[in-house]
A = this chain, B = another copy of it.
Amino acid sequence: MEKFEIDILGCGAALPTPKRLSSAQIVNIREKLFMLDCAEGTQMALRKSHIAFSRLQAIFLTHLHGDHVFGLLGMLSTFGLLGRIQELHIYGPTDLQRVFQPQIDYFCADSTYKIILHEIDTKTPQTIYEDRSVTVSTLPLKHRVPCCGYLFREKPTAPHIRRDAIDAFLIPISQINNIKAGMDWTTPDGEIIPNHLLTTPPAPTRSYAYCTDTSYRPQLANLLKGTTCIYHEATFTTEHALLAKKTHHSTATQAAEIARAAQADRLILGHFSSRYKSEDALLKEAQQIFHNTVLAEDGMRITL
């Protein structure tokens, strides 16, 4: 199966500690890397993880709160010092240009590569990035400032060739790409062998949704139907549900409700308030609603 991995670099809420950074992740789809949020310390976490960050294609920022963006300038600057050439695209809400362009101009003036900022509309779900392997779409969220999550959907790969059928019908190697692309085979006798007898279907496509920061938004589940894996913020336990509502965050129960309604395969909880000494209570309350739930932790790798 082609690679589809998530590396969690940081999964804490607003206050980073020596043990847990604020929000940052890497999505690796077929060896192309995408970053989700970029908290202070992300460049050190990248180095620690030995991720080949020269393969980073684009950065997607959910919103412009410090705990999601304070590592951006340092990382961009370091890429320049290390001689990056490939241009880097950064997507984020309104104000991205106003807040970051002057800083980039000031601190990355000697940069060896081009940094391109894209301001996106966080209110309407839309596809904002597409390449041969993946589409990335926005997921409107509800927070104190404009904010959206991101949904990564891998594109189907070609069907697999049935080696036995190729041999049986004496199909030349030169025709294999055509058959992978859907062509039927006509034998020298004029018999048509339909494509489905020559191939087996590709692996089902996988998807990953990153949803932080947000208050409980039941309609979000409609956009997440059948998602393979959802990362949803769970800043608080239900005990602090009022505080969650007031600060536009979610409880672990609410995160699990989203995963259940979306009929997702897996749920990862993250963006933990630093008030909890252990996140076991968060996990327990989520698992009562959606069993296949895990707690994020810094340095964790998830393979889809």
Task: Give every chain B residue within 8 A of A74 (Cβ-Cβ).
Answer: 16, 40, 66, 70
A17 touches B47 (CB 8 A): yes
Contact of A70 among B15, B77, B99 (CB under 8 A): B77
Interface residue A43 (Cβ < 8 Å from any Cβ of B): yes
Task: Tell me the complex Cα distance, A44–B15, Å.
Answer: 9
A interface residue count range (under 10 / 10 to 19 / 20 to 34 / 35 or more): 20 to 34
What is the chain B residue whose CB lies nearest that of A72? B70
| B40 contacts A16, C-beta separation under 8 Å | no
A79 → B minimal CB distance (Å):
11
Whose C-beta in chain B lies nearest to the C-beta of A14? B81
Taken together, the copies of this chain in the complex come to 2
Min CB distance A126 to B, Å, is 26
**Complex CA–CA separation, A21 to B71 (angstroms):** 13
Summarize A's interface: helix, strand, loop or mixed. helix
Residue A219, interface by CB 8 Å: no
Q: Which residue of B18, B40, B103 contacts A71 across the interface (Cβ within 8 Å)? A: B40
Given A44-B41, A74-B70, A15 and B99 touching (CB < 8 A)?
A: no
- In angstroms, how far is the closest chain B Cβ from the Cβ of A97? 13
Please name all residues of chain B whose beta carbon is closer than 8 Å to the beta carbon of A99 when the two chains form the complex: 102-103, 106
**Residues of chain B lying within 8 A (CB to CB) of residue A47:** 17-18
Looking at the assembled complex, report how far the CB atom of A170 sits from the nearest CB atom of chain B, in whole angstroms: 57
Interface centre among A18, A70, A77, A102 (most CB of B within 10 A): A70
- Tell me whether B66 and A77 are in contact (CB under 8 A): yes
Set of chain B residues within 8 Å of A106, measured between Cβ atoms = 64, 95, 99
**Contact of A66 with B107 in the complex, beta carbons under 8 Å:** yes
Residues of chain B within 8 A (CB-CB) of A14 are 78, 81
Judged by a CB distance under 8 angstroms, whether A48 is at the interface is yes
| A73 part of interface (Cβ distance < 8 Å) | yes
Most buried by B among A47, A64, A78: A78
Chain B proximity of A35: nearest CB distance (Å): 16
Find A73's partner among B16, B17, B70, B107 (CB 8 Å cutoff). B70
Residue of B nearest to A18 (CB): B48
Cα(A265)–Cα(B140), bound, Å: 61
With a CB–CB cut-off of 8 A, which chain B residues contact A81?
14-15
Apart from the given pairs A41-B44, A67-B77, 19 other A-B contacts in the complex at a CB distance below 8 Å: A14-B78, A14-B81, A15-B78, A15-B81, A15-B82, A16-B43, A16-B74, A17-B47, A18-B47, A18-B48, A40-B40, A40-B41, A40-B71, A41-B41, A66-B74, A66-B77, A70-B107, A99-B102, A102-B102
Q: List 13 A-B contacts (CB under 8 A).
A: A15-B78, A15-B81, A15-B82, A16-B74, A16-B78, A18-B45, A41-B41, A64-B106, A66-B74, A66-B107, A67-B77, A70-B74, A103-B103
